[in-house]
Each structure stands twice: as C-alpha cells, then as structure tokens.
Structure 1
Amino acid sequence: MENQSLETNNMFEEMPGDKKITKYQWQTLWASFTGYAMDGLDMMILAFALPLISSDLGLNSAEAGFISTITLIGTVIGGYIFGALADIYGRVKIFSLTILIFSVFTGLCAIASNIFWLDLFRLLSGLGIGGEFGIGMTLVSETWSKKYRSRATAGVAVGFQVGIVLATICVMLIAPHFGWRGVFLIGVLPALFAWWSRRKLDEPELWKKSNQARKANDRKIPLKQLFDSPKRVGITLGLILITGVQNFGFYAIMTWSPTMLADQFNFSFSDTTSWTVVTTIGMILGIIVFGYLSDKWGRKPSYIIFQLASAIIVWIFFQQSAFALLLLLGAIMGFFVNGMMGGYGAWMAEHYSTEIRSTAENFIFNSGKGIAGFGPFIIGYLALKHSLSYSLGLISGIYFLAAIAVVLLIPETKGKELE
C-alpha cells in the first residue's frame, strides 16, 4: 500500500510527538485515491474522445459540449443521493456501490448508437461517479488527524490527476485501433479495480459512534444543519461558490483545450497529449503543495493566494500561441487552477458534524459541479461566434469572485477536531 502511494509520502513526515500513521489510514487514502482517479479518467477520456465522437455522430460544438454538461449534471444528482446514503448506511458500502454503477454505464457508452443514448449513458454513469469525491474525502477526513488532514485529502485529489494520465495512455493505445467506443469499454477495467480495492475496508470509528447515537435517538439526517443559522448559510453558500468556480474553470479548460490546440493552432495529437501530460504534472505538484500549505498556513490564505494566481495565469495562457510557451504556462496554470483541489475535503469536513458530513461534502461539491456543468456548454456556445482561446480566456474573471467569497464568508478551521 505504501509503495502504491509514494507520490504522497513526503507530505506526511512524522514530527516529534506525532502518532504513527496506521495501515488503516493508508488503506482509506488508497481506496479514496483510486475512486477519485476514476473521476479524472472519465472526464479526460471524454475530452480526448470528443473530436472523434463529434466526427462520428456529426455534432456541432454546442452538442458536443452538452455531453460533458449532462455527465456533470448526473454527478450532481448522484452526489446528493449517495452522499446522504453514506451518512445513513456507511461510507464504505455506498462508496463501493457508486463505482459499480459508474462501471456499468461507462461500458454501455461503447454501444451507444446515437447522441440520445450516449447522453443517457453519460448521465447514468455520472450518477455513480458523483459520490466518489464527497464520500472519499469524508472517509479520509474522519480517519486522519487534524495535523495531516489537508495533506491527506490532497493525496485523494492527486488520484484525479492519475486518472487523467490513465485516460491519456488509454486513448493513445486504444483510439487508433478501436476508436472512441473502444476507449470507453477499456475504461471500465480501472473502475472495477477501484471497487476491488475497497471491498474489505472497515467503516471509520467516528461514523460508527455517530450512527449508533442516531439510531438510539431515532434521528433522521438533519439536512437543515447546512442552513441552520445566517452564519452557516454563508459558509455553505461560500463553499458552493468556491467549488463551483474551481470546477467551472477546470472542466471548461480541460474539456476544450485539447480541441483548441488541435483546431486553432493545428497542433498534432502528440502535441496535445504532451500539453495534457505537462499540465497534469503541474496539477499534481499544485495539489501536493496546496495540501502542505493549508496545514501549515491555514485554509483561507492558501485559497486566496491560489485563486488570485489562477485569475492571472488563465488570462495570460489564452493569449499565447507558441507551443513551448503553452507547455510551460500549462504547467503553471495547472499548478494553481487545480492545486486548490487539495484542500476542499478537509475544509468542508471541519464545518459539519459526522452525522451529516458526507451529505454536506457531496451536496456542496456537487452543487459546485452543477454550476460547473454549464462550463463546457457555455464555452462551446461562445465558440460558435468567437475563437476557443478568446472564450476560454474569459474564465479568468471568476477566480476573483471565489477569493471574495473566501474573505467574507468562510471561517478559518485549521487545527479543528472533528465532531
């Protein structure tokens, strides 16, 4: 297990007086890591396959963008449903169910005969993948100490980038021989491995105690806890806004950038693949650094720095056309735009109690994804009248809104014990 998670080990250096990190903690991190990797795999498979799908099914840019949008809508619905079920029936049980649903409908995408069936299967596969982030982050947050909590959730977030790399390899090896349908079919295999890796994992003690108390008192999951005071309303809405901004920018950029590089700048498939790999490396480094800074400096300053830096680098990136410069700036853009993924799980977990934590994490993050779901469609629509680079550059402004939300609405929680 430790060997499979080497990229995160340097984030968890033992300090004098710290308790040793246990095998169970590493197991929860690995199970959550592999689950979130499937989210990245799914998103990037679609991004790479989109030109092939558009050509095969005769789609315009708006119709192609809607495939991503309807997938994200599915993740929102699935996140709401499975997040609540994980609070009632257990993190691990529902975690395993979600990945099986994702596996089945991802495989069915391979036999979709037209855009209707492809959109339907993408919607249903989104239901399964929707619970992966919130449940996985909840599981890790509840089993790792406050000292390492943000670094641990950053380790989960790295899984998404590994999924992107897997998707890149999958498309490179499969698409030339079997087309986009073969890519979706092969994409089922890693998802089944993710299910296998968590099949014997035990539920966290925090959830067991909370569930016993809930059953003893015959309590329902108190959804109103997300909005039970003006301050809590501000926190919940603020978290939704910052996750929405981050997801909107990320999904729009990563869905459309390969197409922009190919169509607008005539980059080869090898060039766009190289850009994706370099950008993904930047993302991994950004997540690791963000998790460390969030535990050391605090949640608020880390987010403000990364949000303002994202606004600047996104604007600069989409003004360029030289391949070497796009590679360098792609890594820097990835570092800041997706580095923030390293802290959401910990920060959300610290604002809500155990009996509603999975519900809260999934509701907030997937509501943000719901906002983000319109990103690829909006960019695709704008591209009907403007260039893709111009349309994508407009994303820069939304990061300033996120920074304002952090300053005004969301309290610092560094070092807080979970309730």
Structure 2
Amino acid sequence: MSLVAELKGLQRKQVHSIWASYLGWTLDAFDFFLLVFMLSAIAKEYGTDIKTVSEATFLTLAARPFGAFVFGWMADRFGRRPIMMIVILLFSLFSFASAFAWSLTSLFVIRTLFGFCMGGEWGIGASLVMESIPIKLRGPVSGLLQSGYPTGYFLASLVYFLLFDAIGWRGLFMVGIAPAILVFLIRMHVDESPAFEKRRHERPANPIGELVRNWKIALYLVILMTAFNFFSHGTQDLYPTFLKEQHHFDTKTIGLLAMIGNVGAIVGGISFGIWSEHIGRKRAIIIASLLAIPIIPLWAFASTPVMLGLGAFLIQVAVQGAWGIVPVHLNELSPALVRGMFPGFAYQLGNLIASRNGPIQASIAESHGGNFGLAMAIVAGITVVVLVVWTAIGPERTDVDFLTEKTN
C-alpha cells in the first residue's frame, strides 16, 4: 500500500494524535528558541556578555532530563494525554514569566523551571503518537513529528523578524504563552494511546528498575542522543548570534536566514523519515549525517547573505534529516512498560550532557577573535563522525508491534 493510501486510511482519532504531538513539539521548540534570538539584547540590558547569558540555554537544557523522567513516569502511570496537557500548560506559563525577570539570576531560575517542564513534552508526545498509528507509518510520522522542532524555530524566527524591533525581548517572551491554547484542543479531540489503555490496569512498572534492567540499551541511547543534541544545538543555538555579532546583520536579515534554515530542516526531517521505511533507521541517520560534511564550509564560512542562506538550508536538511528518525527509533528500542518515560529520558539525558554546547561554542569563538563560524564548524564536524560511528554499531528494531509486544 502506498504512503498516500496509508495516510488516507488513518482514523480521525489517529490524525488528531499526530497533530497534537506535532504541535506540542512545535510550540515547545518555539518557546525555547525565542531565547536564542535575544542573547545579545539580554546581555546588553543586564550589562554582561553573551557567554554569560548563554548559560540560560545551558540551564534550560540541563533541566530537561529531570522533567522527562518525572513527567514520563507520570505518563506511564496516569496516561499520555493528561500529562501532556499539564506539561504544555506549565512550559507556556514559564515562558511568559521569563518576560518579568528582574535580574539575570531570576531569568536563569525561570528558564531552568521552563526546561524542566519542556523536558516532559517530547517523550510523551512521541509515545502517544507512535502507539496510536500503523507500523508502516511510523517512519513518515516520525519525520513529521520531529519537524515540529524546526517548525517551532521557524515560528520563533518569524516572530523575531516581525516583532522584536517593536516589543523587545520581554515582549517576545510574553508571546510564549500562546502554546497554552493547544491544551484545550487536546482536551477536546485527542484520545489516549491504545497501547497504554490496553495496559492501564496492569501493575505500574518501577521506572528505576526498568532503567537498571535495560541499562545497556539505556546507555547506548544516552550516548546516541548526546551526539544528536550536539548536532542540533551546535548548528542552531548560536546561529543568530553568529549572524549578528560576526556578520553584523540586522533583525530582518537574521530572521530571514533562520527561517530559510528551518525550511531546510522541515524538508530534511520529513524526507528522511519517509525514506527510513525503505532503507532502515540506522542507514537513514548515517546518510543524512554524512551529508553535512561537505556543507559545513559553506554554512560556517560564506560571507554573503545568499550563500549563507544556501548553507543554512542545506546544513539543516542534513541535521534534521538525521533527527527525523529519532522519535521512531527511540520508541522502537524502548521497553514497553516505560515507553512514556524511557525515550524522553534518554533523549533529555543526552541533552544534559550536550547542554554545555552554547558556552563551549561561545568560548571557542571568544578565543578566536569572535569567530562563531569556526566554533560552529568545529562542533558540527566532530559530532558527525561520532554520530555516524555510534549509530553504525548500535541496534535497530523496526517490526515491533506496540499493542502485542511482550512486557517481560
């Protein structure tokens, strides 16, 4: 059956689950990426430097695995749907609260709380949708789901492009309350995961016990996601700062180039997600990652807006092409009883290890006369090699039926 026919065969409740999870991750990323456009403005207001303010991105990323564990455990205990609504409401409120930070320290605290809540969304949303759709659609839907991340970045770029000069960084954080609206849509239209419903009355799994029992695959996935997070954050988080500080572009140009990059990310994520159904998860990740190598010089060292835009588009096709397989790959490798917690926790623990990316890149740039392009190129190049090797030696499991799989 063709992909189009498979999509047409989806039930309405399955479509609602897909869109809810996609939008949840989109708006989660939107709130996160608002900050990366405002590092310079925040540093100026508080009389400090970009390296210091970039600690806010570190704290946000560092808090995410703790949120993934807590909210993931709750999702395995009480259901994916209600906990996802709670998570979305909380991270929206903390994004809004960031606008009222009275000092740099208070901003750090608020962004840490935001990161804790943000950490719960991805794993819960991914398990909800992967447990609700046919096996043959997991790859394409995985690409769509992960494309919510660059879509959120695109929206943040657009809001920055349209509003920053008028409302400033505090006003942009106020826009971050918008994702809370999604809670009402989930409440009205999204059903619980059928795999969770089937096991609702089973004795809840001990999350610590399951992690210990499955420690080998847990360790493998944490290292894999560490590489993945250096790949994404190493090519995204300081990109607006690179354009502003090194190329001295204005707000409109920075916003436009970021949007171009995220269009490439959406194309890559969806395309490689679909392709992974034909060539396998591992092979799709490896090919997408390797595509980044010849693009890095153009992306990091071009001098004109046109060539930088081309580099931004192509590098994100590669980066998010690899990322498009992550939701399905992690869910297929996760133990059934803790699928709400396990993929998200592994993902966000990798995020914790990679969370120093912003300060590391800022330090490299500072030590080379403000050369952010060099810093981004170094991190991206090293990460590609690690990601390809680690993916190649790891496991793959594409045929598991989430409704009938054994739980012991």
Aligned residue among 303, 328, 348 for 1:366: 348
| Counterpart check, 1:411 vs 2:402 | no
Instruction: Verify the 8 A CA contact 1:241 1:402 in the aligned structure 2.
Output: no
Instruction: Verify the 8 A CA contact 2:63 2:112 in the aligned structure 1.
Output: yes
Cα deviation per residue 1:274-326 (whole Å; 9 max; x = unaligned)? 21111001000000111111111111111111122224423542232222211
Aligned residues: 398
TM-score normalised by the chain length of structure 1: 0.90
1:173 and 1:303 mapped to 2: Cα distance? 35
Structure 2 partner of 1:195: 183
Instruction: Verify the 8 A CA contact 1:310 1:399 in the aligned structure 2.
Output: yes
TM-score normalised by the chain length of structure 2: 0.93
Instruction: Verify the 8 A CA contact 1:211 1:355 in the aligned structure 2.
Output: no
Cα deviation per residue 1:137-181 (whole Å; 9 max; x = unaligned)? 000110111101121122211222221222122223332222100
1:49 and 1:302 mapped to 2: Cα distance? 34
5 Å-filtered alignment, 1:3-402, equals 12-14=3-5, 20-189=9-178, 191-200=179-188, 201-214=190-203, 219-228=204-213, 232-386=214-368, 387-395=371-379, 396-402=381-387
Instruction: Decide whether aligned partners of structure 1 residues 321 and 234 sit closer, same or farther in structure 2, where only a CA change above 3 A counts.
Output: farther
1:256 and 1:157 mapped to 2: Cα distance? 20
Residue 90 of structure 1 deviates from its aligned partner by 0.6
Uncovered stretches (5+) of structure 1, i.e. residues with no partner = 1-10
Instruction: Decide whether aligned partners of structure 1 residues 249 and 242 sit closer, same or farther in structure 2, where only a CA change above 3 A counts.
Output: same
2:207 and 2:90 mapped to 1: Cα distance? 27
Instruction: Decide whether aligned partners of structure 1 residues 348 and 368 sit closer, same or farther in structure 2, where only a CA change above 3 A counts.
Output: same
Instruction: Decide whether aligned partners of structure 1 residues 12 and 194 sit closer, same or farther in structure 2, where only a CA change above 3 A counts.
Output: farther
Uncovered stretches (5+) of structure 2, i.e. residues with no partner = none
Tell me which moved more, 302-311 or 115-124: 302-311
1:153 and 1:272 mapped to 2: Cα distance? 29
Cα deviation per residue 1:173-215 (whole Å; 9 max; x = unaligned)? 33222210010011212x112212211322112101222122x
Residue 29 of structure 1 deviates from its aligned partner by 0.7
Instruction: Verify the 8 A CA contact 1:75 1:127 in the aligned structure 2.
Output: yes
1:301 and 1:341 mapped to 2: Cα distance? 13
1:220 and 1:13 mapped to 2: Cα distance? 38
2:278 and 2:53 mapped to 1: Cα distance? 42
Instruction: Verify the 8 A CA contact 1:317 1:329 in the aligned structure 2.
Output: yes
Instruction: Verify the 8 A CA contact 1:311 1:397 in the aligned structure 2.
Output: no
Q: Which amino acid aligns with 1:398?
A: T
Instruction: Verify the 8 A CA contact 1:35 1:132 in the aligned structure 2.
Output: yes
Cα deviation per residue 1:350-380 (whole Å; 9 max; x = unaligned)? 1223311111111111011112211111111
Q: Which amino acid aligns with 1:260?
A: F
Describe the SS at the equivalent of 1:212. coil
Instruction: Verify the 8 A CA contact 1:311 1:398 in the aligned structure 2.
Output: no
Instruction: Decide whether aligned partners of structure 1 residues 314 and 246 sit closer, same or farther in structure 2, where only a CA change above 3 A counts.
Output: farther
2:208 and 2:329 mapped to 1: Cα distance? 19
Tell me which moved more, 311-320 or 256-265: 311-320
1:195 and 1:185 mapped to 2: Cα distance? 18
Residue 333 of structure 1 deviates from its aligned partner by 0.1
2:314 and 2:297 mapped to 1: Cα distance? 12
1:337 and 1:352 mapped to 2: Cα distance? 23
Instruction: Decide whether aligned partners of structure 1 residues 310 and 225 sit closer, same or farther in structure 2, where only a CA change above 3 A counts.
Output: farther
Q: Which amino acid aligns with 1:261?
A: L
Instruction: Verify the 8 A CA contact 2:335 2:342 in the aligned structure 1.
Output: no
Describe the SS at the equivalent of 1:412. coil
How many percent of aligned residue pairs carry the same amino acid? 26
1:140 and 1:41 mapped to 2: Cα distance? 20
2:20 and 2:72 mapped to 1: Cα distance? 17
Instruction: Verify the 8 A CA contact 2:164 2:172 in the aligned structure 1.
Output: yes
Structure 2 partner of 1:4: none
Describe the SS at the equivalent of 1:143. coil
Instruction: Verify the 8 A CA contact 1:311 1:400 in the aligned structure 2.
Output: no
Instruction: Verify the 8 A CA contact 1:25 1:143 in the aligned structure 2.
Output: yes
2:376 and 2:363 mapped to 1: Cα distance? 11
